[in-house]
Structure 1
């Protein structure tokens, strides 16, 4: 009998101490996307892996056929690899630089418009 991966994920999420909003934020998706994942019987193994990191849950019990050794993947990267930030911190940093780029781009566009309008 095939396991419904979405239902299993939903059960694990409901048993966790994290809200769906917090999980969605750390996953970098909308809350509605998390709820949609609950309905997918053949949820992608890559998504299950991402949820395992966010939830700090070892899905090898539920899906032994997907992951032979998930424990080493769930844990944060070894500091000797040079990665010292959590996934959430990296997302915050990404958003900071994205906002900074957008602000710079808007200022550049204003300068172009001002320069072009002064020539005519």
Structure 2
């Protein structure tokens, strides 16, 4: 019979020194999401891998098929140097500003349309 992955996760969390609140902050998951994960019988290995990183637990002991997974491969993490990070930040900042400008244009059009009626 297969192991209930969520129940295993719950038992590992309970044995750890990490509170649900701290786990939530570390993983950037809501507490509700963590409780949902605990209920999932077939919780995705990618999620277990992320939990394992924070909880310092190797879930591949329980699920040998996870041995080939790494955090970097699983989440397609790209390592960027400082200059690349700045360039990426500026790219998304510009996109955000362009979006705000379009939003403002639409608001102005809507205000002008409603005042003309």
- After TM superposition, the score normalised by the length of structure 2 is 0.59
Counterparts of 1:79-118 in structure 2 under 5 Å?
none
Q: Match for residue 61 of structure 2?
A: 61
Q: Is 2:18 the counterpart of 1:22?
A: no
Structure 1 residue runs of 4 or more that deviate by more than 4 Å after TM superposition: none
- CA distance, structure 2, for counterparts of residue 44 and residue 60 of structure 1: 13
Specify every segment of 5 or more residues in structure 1 that has no aligned partner in the other structure, as ranges: 75-82, 84-97, 110-120
Higher helix share: 2
Q: Which runs of 5+ in 2 are unaligned?
A: 72-78, 80-92, 104-117
Backbone CA RMSD of aligned residues? 3.8
Name 1:49's counterpart in structure 2: 49
| Corresponding residue number in structure 2 for 1:40 | 40
Q: Is the 8 A contact 1:8 1:62 kept in 2?
A: no
Higher alpha-carbon Rg: 2
**1:69 CA drift (Å):** 5.3
1:4 is the counterpart of 2:4: yes
Deviation at 1:32, TM superposition (A): 1.1
